[in-house]
Each structure stands twice: as C-alpha cells, then as structure tokens.
Amino acid sequence: MIIMPNMDRLQSLEVFIAVAEAEGFAEGARRLGLSAPSATRGVNALEERLGARLFTRTTRRVRLTDVGRTYLDDARHIVAQLRAADDAAAGAMANPVGELRITCSNEFGRIYVTPVLTEFLDTYPDVSADVVLVDRVVNMVEEGFDVAVRIGPLPPSGLTAVRVGSVRHIVCGTPDYLKQFGRPATPADLMAHRIVAVSAVSPTTEWRFGVDLSETVRLQPRLRLSSVAAAREVVRQGWGLTRLLSYQVGPELEEGRLVSVLEDFEPEPLPTHLVHVGGRRAPAKIRTFIDFARDRLRGVRVLR
C-alpha cells in the first residue's frame, strides 16, 4: 500500500531533490524560490524523520550518501507520480501544460527535432520547451529530461521507447567529385579516393562494411575533422568522400547535392527511437509530444 505524503512531506521531498541535483543548499533553494535556511531546515527535518543521513556536507558542496542516492530515485518517482496525477485531475490530457525538457544530438536536433518542436509549441501554447543538443547519451532521470532521441540499440531500462525509423552509415560525395574521380564499386576502392574522416562517426581509420561488419578497409584519411558540420561542408565543396549517418546529410541527399555510394555494402541500419519517462502515466505534455513527433518523424524519408 502506498502512503501518500502530506503537503509538508511533499515539499521536503522537492527540497531534497533540488539540493541533490544542485549539489548545494543555496542553489537548490534558489531553484524552488526558497531561502537557503528554509532548504536546510527541510532536509534536516526529512533526515530526522527517516533516522538516516542523506548528505555529507562540506563548506563548499554537499554529496549524497549511499542511502541518499537510493532515496533520491524513490523521491523522484513519488514526486513524478503526484505531478502526473495532478495533471490528469486538472484536465491536462486535453490541454498539455508545463515545460518539456528534450535532449538529442546536435545535428538531429537542428535538422529534425527543432522544426517539429516549434510546430508543437504553436499548437499547444501552454507548453514551453528546454532543448539540450549534445552529442552524448545523457542519463534522463538523473539530468531531469522528459524525452530523448536515441539512435542505436537500446539497453534495458525502465523507460518507454517509440520507434520512429532508422538511420544508415553512408559514404557520400558530390556528383561532380564522383564524375571526376570515379564511383567506388567496392569498399577497397576507397583507398584510391580523398577521404574526410569524422571522429564522432568513425573514431578509427578502419571502416567496417556489410550487415555483419565482416569487410574492413584500413584507410589513410587526407583530412580528419571532429565536426560533422565541417566535414559536410568540405565534401559539399567536392573535395572528397566522407562517411556520416544518413540523417546528418538528409537535406543534401534529398536535393541531390550529395550522393551515397556503396549502398550494397552498408552495415545494418541503426534503429531510432523517441524515449520518454513515465510510461502511460507520463504527464500529458510528454504523451502528446511523443504522438505529435512520432507521426512527423516517421514521414521523414531519410529515416525510413
């Protein structure tokens, strides 16, 4: 049986979560519009009630104890459930409200998520959004995100995933470059071409091909870049060939400015999902955005 906390208990949980995420009483209190002494008293009361120490404190920061880390997960779950119940009771299903926090990679967010999101915000004026574009996999629960775009196989988790398509590893160049230097017929033919390597996509100079990745070509790139955007621009100018994920050059492929080669040797496509917290009990802003974005992303040709 779940025992629902009273208002003081709920506020203590919210203060505890804010202090834990901010790693400090002052910043945690500021996020909630409270004074630092109020936050300290709230956490002290919670620790006294539990009979357990949740933080270790120094003059500069606070850190969660082992008990505190476990309790943080439970506290987040309880607060999320209460907020979801409040949303449902207030009729939020019909009128999504609140801030939506989304994370995805820079290029996918720039090309595909941002246009969908602005249309969503126009449709639902009571929703705002905070989007973090970062080329790493974030911990959605710990970092407080509602929705994430995940490209690649998903590890087991308690999150809910909705597949919207897949992306391919492609080798591409301009039609003019291929006319001048020839179209590679096999992966080994790449050794005769000017190669632009992108560390974020191909961290080694060994490019693997085939559904089972059994065919390997060791290349000596003429140019190595850490930026997808920079590599795309170099190749768009006709300087050489590069290997990127298909969505990173989706507009260029659709417009014919870039052409993919070696399609018969491509690895297995990578599944692409919208991942969200809360499952069926997620707040309406999350459920509505997932449905909205799913339909639009599934219509993108490069994700099919």
User: For residues 289 and 182, what is the distance between their CA atoms, to the nearest angstrom?
Assistant: 45
Give the model's pLDDT for residue 127.
95
CATH topology classification for 169-265: D-Maltodextrin-Binding Protein; domain 2 (3.40.190)
User: For residues 204 and 214, what is the distance between their CA atoms, to the nearest angstrom?
Assistant: 16
Domains 7-87 and 98-158+279-303 share a fold: no
User: For residues 260 and 243, what is the distance between their CA atoms, to the nearest angstrom?
Assistant: 9
Intervals of the chain under pLDDT 50? 1-7
Q: Which CATH architecture has domain 7-87?
A: Orthogonal Bundle (1.10)
**Looking at the chain, how many residues does it have?**
304
Give the model's pLDDT for residue 81.
82
| Cβ-defined contacts of 93-97 (< 8 Å, 24+) | 93/284, 93/287, 94/284, 95/124, 95/126, 95/284, 96/124, 96/126, 96/127, 96/283, 96/284, 96/285, 96/287, 96/288, 96/289, 97/126, 97/127, 97/284, 97/285
Locate the domains of the chain by residue range. 7-87, 98-158+279-303, 169-265
* φ, ψ (nearest 5 deg) of residue 225: -135, 150
Give the model's pLDDT for residue 93.
55
CATH topology classification for 98-158+279-303: D-Maltodextrin-Binding Protein; domain 2 (3.40.190)
Give the model's pLDDT for residue 94.
60
Give the model's pLDDT for residue 7.
43
What radius of gyration do the chain's Cα atoms show?
24
Nearest to 99 by CA among 88, 87, 91, 112: 87
* Tokens matching residue 259: 């052409």
Give the model's pLDDT for residue 89.
65
Give the model's pLDDT for residue 3.
41
Nearest to 20 by CA among 73, 62, 56: 62
